[in-house]
């Protein structure tokens, strides 16, 4: 065995059996905790005050490429906690953030983040998804759009050609 855990399988070199068992138990506990965090289900954020509106008056936003949303300067939604947002249909202003790993020739940090403001009219009963794409090489360009997954088509932005 190699690395810091080599002593787990080699007790003949003076590592007590009890210490090996403790280290093994801690490693297994750590792996269990990490596996539990990684598989935690994401919730649905309700972006309305008071009693929930009837289902037929709500639209659904799939976080998709967005890692954060601010809806109507009231609701801040993290993509780490939520996979969807349910909100009343109608006109909304949505600020959303996306990011890409990029060449250091494009951005020295190797990561490019974008904040987008979209004025959209959401249709009741429809599902919408935040999407982002980019080109590579000379003429680098980023595309942000919101798709209506129910009716098909783009309600804001443009698809990469």
pTM of the model: 0.72
pLDDT at 50 over 70: yes
pLDDT of residue 15: 53
pLDDT of residue 19: 64
pLDDT at 114 over 80: yes
- Can you name the residues that pair with 62 across neighbouring β-strands? 84, 129
pLDDT at 5 over 60: no
Mean pLDDT for 27-52 is: 71
* Phi, psi of 144, deg, nearest 5: -120, 140
Closest of 43, 49, 48 to residue 63, by C-alpha: 43
Share of the chain above pLDDT 70, in %: 75
Residue 65: count other Cβ atoms within 10 Å of its Cβ. Answer: 19
The confidence band for 8, taking pLDDT boundaries of 50, 70 and 90, is: very low
pLDDT at 31 over 70: no
Mean pLDDT for 29-48 is: 69
Lowest mean pLDDT among 61-70, 81-90, 130-139, 151-160: 130-139
Q: Are 118 and 148 in contact (CB under 8 A)?
A: no
SS3 per residue for 98-111: EEEECCCCCCCCCE
Q: Give the tens place of pLDDT for each residue, 54-82.
A: 999 999 999 999 999 999 999 999 999 99
The C-alpha R_g of the chain, in whole angstroms, comes to 23
The confidence band for 2, taking pLDDT boundaries of 50, 70 and 90, is: very low
């Amino acid at each position: 065995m190699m690395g810091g855990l080599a002593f787990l399988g080699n007790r003949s070199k003076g590592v007590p059996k009890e210490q090996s068992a403790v280290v093994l138990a801690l490693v297994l506990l750590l792996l269990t905790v990490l596996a539990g965090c990684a598989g935690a289900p994401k919730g649905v954020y309700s972006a309305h005050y008071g009693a929930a509106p009837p289902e037929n008056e709500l639209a659904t936003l799939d976080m998709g490429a967005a890692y954060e949303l601010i809806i109507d300067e009231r609701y801040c939604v993290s993509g780490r906690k939520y996979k969807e947002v349910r909100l009343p249909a109608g006109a909304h202003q949505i600020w959303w953030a996306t990011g890409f790993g990029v060449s250091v020739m494009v951005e020295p940090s190797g990561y490019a983040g974008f904040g987008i403001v979209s004025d959209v009219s959401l249709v009741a009963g429809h599902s919408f998804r935040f999407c982002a794409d980019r080109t590579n090489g000379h003429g680098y360009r980023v595309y942000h759009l919101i798709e209506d997954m129910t009716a098909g088509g783009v309600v804001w932005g443009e698809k990469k050609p």
